[in-house]
């Protein structure tokens, strides 16, 4: 069945974890007394980059900046659709300077950048499906930002309310598999949002709490290959049953900051 899935070449933007650390707490995963093995983090991150390139994907990098330990989580910097860049305004003051550095990279690469007027955390909460944007709210990105995003891109935006602080961004609770389907953990969402997802994606791949807590939903799919946390074994098995090809990539050192594969990956859709 896997042979029926067609991968699409992607272009990703990443940031080396040269200055990665847990220096403050802005989600339940973070504890400032946590020690980070920077060498291990760099090795794991390089493993992700190798996996992307081995599967035919292009990877660009923005330079890391001292004093911005979460800059490695490139997905939060913006959302890019049809070559248009909607930049972020972070909820946490500690992360707000990241936006300037990512904006500089995008402009140098030839893109115009719209900076959000409301709190908005890029692909952390804004997921492009190929037809519309699924948009998370409840902990970080605001509903005002959802309206701003819709006006900017001219694509429908479907708001989804997150209710569990461990799944503080949409990309910790859901990811897009291809143009037709998603995987998600239902209990991360409000009852009404669960109904919306069930109507939109009746054949979705559903994850368990164990899958989600293992960062199994902080995954990246190219339509066939799913780059996924190794500990999310049950979810990987379900994906394989649906014809996808799981590619385990261990980013466990980044879990200490509440991040994983998708958090480290900004997709540039030209």
Q: What is the set of active-site residues?
A: 169, 263
Report the distance separating Cα 16 and Cα 165, nearest Å: 27
Say how many C-beta atoms besides its own lie within 10 A of residue 198's C-beta: 12
Q: Which long-range contacts (CB under 8 A, 24 or more apart) does 226-231 make?
A: 226/177, 227/48, 227/51, 227/52, 227/261, 228/261, 229/260, 229/261
Q: Label the pairing between strands 11-15 and 174-176.
A: unpaired
Q: Are 81 and 128 in contact (CB under 8 A)?
A: yes
- Strand order through the sheet with 174-176: 174-176, 182-184, 205-206
Q: What is the DSSP letter of 71?
A: T
Q: Are 231 and 204 in contact (CB under 8 A)?
A: no
Q: Is 205 helix (H, G, I), strand (E, B) or coil?
A: strand
Closest CA to 72 of 269, 253, 263, 256: 263
Q: Is 251 helix (H, G, I), strand (E, B) or coil?
A: coil
Estimate to the nearest angstrom the gap between the alpha carbon of 193 and the chain centroid: 19
């Amino acid at each position: 069945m896997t042979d029926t899935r067609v991968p699409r070449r992607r272009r990703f933007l990443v940031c080396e974890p040269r200055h990665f650390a847990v220096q403050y707490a802005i989600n339940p995963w973070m504890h400032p007394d946590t020690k980070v093995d920077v060498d291990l983090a760099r090795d794991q991150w390089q493993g992700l980059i190798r996996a992307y390139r081995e599967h035919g994907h292009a990877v660009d990098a923005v330079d890391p900046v001292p004093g911005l330990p979460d800059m490695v989580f490139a997905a939060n910097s913006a959302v890019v659709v049809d070559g248009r860049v909607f930049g972020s305004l972070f909820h946490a003051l500690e992360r707000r300077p990241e936006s300037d550095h990512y904006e500089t990279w995008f402009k140098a690469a030839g893109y115009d950048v719209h900076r959000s007027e409301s709190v908005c955390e890029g692909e952390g909460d804004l997921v492009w499906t190929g037809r519309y944007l699924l948009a998370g709210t409840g902990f970080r990105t605001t509903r005002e930002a959802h309206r701003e995003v819709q006006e900017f891109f001219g694509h429908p935006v479907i708001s989804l309310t997150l209710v569990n602080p461990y799944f503080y961004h949409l990309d910790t609770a859901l990811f897009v598999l291809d143009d037709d389907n998603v995987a998600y953990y239902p209990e991360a969402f409000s009852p009404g949002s669960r109904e919306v997802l069930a109507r939109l994606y009746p054949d979705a791949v559903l994850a368990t709490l164990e899958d989600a807590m293992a960062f199994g939903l902080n995954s990246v799919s190219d339509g066939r290959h799913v780059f996924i946390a190794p500990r999310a074994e049950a979810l990987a098995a379900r994906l394989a049953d649906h014809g996808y090809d799981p590619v385990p990539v261990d980013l466990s050192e980044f879990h200490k900051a509440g991040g994983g594969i998708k958090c480290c990956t900004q997709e540039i859709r030209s």
